[in-house]
Structure 1
């Protein structure tokens, strides 16, 4: 199973929806069928929307929400989350990590468990930038829609 994940800034300053959808479709056509999202900011919302749109054409693909830690709204809004994602996971490897380090650990887990990163990175700082740097150091294929 080939996996892809998305990383991007909390705020997206450009209209990337068409190019993001095209990147997802190209990934599916290349054999990617698992898509991981952190579901935390505007890019993640757009990435998830692009994958859900692609699921209309390719119902076999999966959109997985990877949370860095448990929050009560996962129980309170369980039906809502289940309507958006095929699965919601908290990687066992990061359970118990201090919450301030958990997002970085979750991002590294996502990179370690995928082959392709679709991202929107235009700044030299922040969590998305750190995740993409880590992916680059791991030799992952990266498509940056911010370039």
Structure 2
């Protein structure tokens, strides 16, 4: 099973413990073995750090930071990055939304941190719900 993460860029760092508990449960009880996360903001960073930490204990899991566009700084990102096919043709203004849609389309579970009903994270969360994905909101 595949899980992706969407959340506000200003997610509080004290959410990390709850996030780790949810991810551990997904690995152990839901057999999630592949994780996708973005690379913008606190929630993405927390998801990346927690999954990377858990990889040491659950060696069978894989994870990828899915980038929205190519840039010189992305060259430093490492081997656990993924740039979805066709995103190179998306205007940079729309790239993050297109990347997030790709992550939803390629996963069964969404772990989100959405505290308001507007903005990009809320829009993607609603999309996941409409598409029948399992949504776990850490609000």
TM-score range, shorter chain: over 0.9
Tell me the equivalent position of 2:82: 89
Shift of 1:14: 6.3
TM-score, reference length from structure 1: 0.89
Secondary structure at the counterpart of residue 63 of structure 2? strand
Is 2:45 the counterpart of 1:45? yes
Match of 2:92 among 73, 86, 99: 99
For 1:144 and 1:14, the matched residues in 2 are separated by: 16
**Structure 2 counterparts to residues 1-147 of structure 1, below 5 A:** 2-13=1-12, 15-29=14-28, 30-75=30-75, 77=76, 81-82=77-78, 87-146=80-139
Q: Which runs of 5+ in 1 are unaligned?
A: none
Q: Which runs of 5+ in 2 are unaligned?
A: none
Shift of 1:16: 1.2
Shift of 1:107: 0.4
The CA RMSD over aligned residues, in Å, is 1.3
For 2:12 and 2:65, the matched residues in 1 are separated by: 23
Shift of 1:134: 0.8
1:38-96 CA distances to partner (integer Å, 9 max, x unpaired)?
Answer: 11110001111111121121011111011111011122x2xxx22xxx52111113221
TM-score, reference length from structure 2: 0.93
Contact 2:13 2:46 in 1 (8 A): no
